[in-house]
Structure 1
């Protein structure tokens, strides 16, 4: 009977610990993260057409935008079972990305150089999670993401909105009370955007078409509070 009582108490204690872990992160939360971000855009299906003459491809070169980033996140975690939580969150980056260079040419003739950077990025996501150890949480993220790419070419500047999907993986650890620290990795894939332009050169109508997309990732560490 003593052994049975010990086993029963142990099992109840383990259950209580598991429940406490899940409850540690149940509810509303807010967090701020800082870290490193890399944006890798690409050009495709780009060409210049001189009406009545022909079409020539635009040869492009573009650098990645690498630098500091910061993200503010709010969300809610619901306990589904003692070993599984499901969250809904939204995050926004108020920090503009590092400017990077690009260039283009047609048949060996330079079209000039420009710069771009990512601004006003956001992400709306679902977050499945499971308690780990004592007051720890391992979580994933699947979401819808968007951002504005600011493009400066000579004296002109344009803003293009991109959208796509996001994936993430992270870990949270309670420090004290509702205060916790976290670290996470996020990947964003932005779908194609096509831009068209036209004008007249030496009496000929010239049109251009350019399709762009981008992939990005960031590594974040930060602090949050579970209310």
Structure 2
């Protein structure tokens, strides 16, 4: 039975993929992934058997990857960012039986976006997905409430889609109950890949128009500030 790699390819640009991820993909005979993720791999898919599905085909992809490994083919199922954060590592471990699994970590969009914004994630932080496809919206609201009350830096994933247009505005309403309107906000679209767009605002003055599923939104804490066009959250050093 062959190995099944669960690979985080980072935000999408080749320069942000780890050497371990590149090696796992190189060793694999079969690549499995969402169509967009496969496109991001570029020429890495040459001479490979490719299995790809559209949006919401996560479990279908996992089943295909497991069956491929059981058939004796070294297989990699790929996710953007880190495969263990909103990726396929969880479903693979839940579904697979009798398959050798190796999870290959990747750079998450939150960290990629943070680097492009300066240093907004330097202290305790959390990630919250605003997609309610798999998580009840009531649970998401509760997490937003608690994270804001605790003054975490918050990285918001999946903030807005064609059908989910109001969740990001509601999220900001909840966050503003506990954070000042002057709190810095970073907005990064297509982080780490072609089409990157970086902008900053404040919690009370954010334009939601250009935010979409390819966007990561980072909201600072009470210590976060702007410096030379960047966002910085102090770690606490005496500087």
TM-score under structure 1 length normalisation: 0.21
Higher relative contact order (CA 8 A, sep 6+): 1
Considering fraction of residues, name the structure with more strand: 1
- The structure in which a higher percent of residues are helix is 2
Which has more radius of gyration? 1
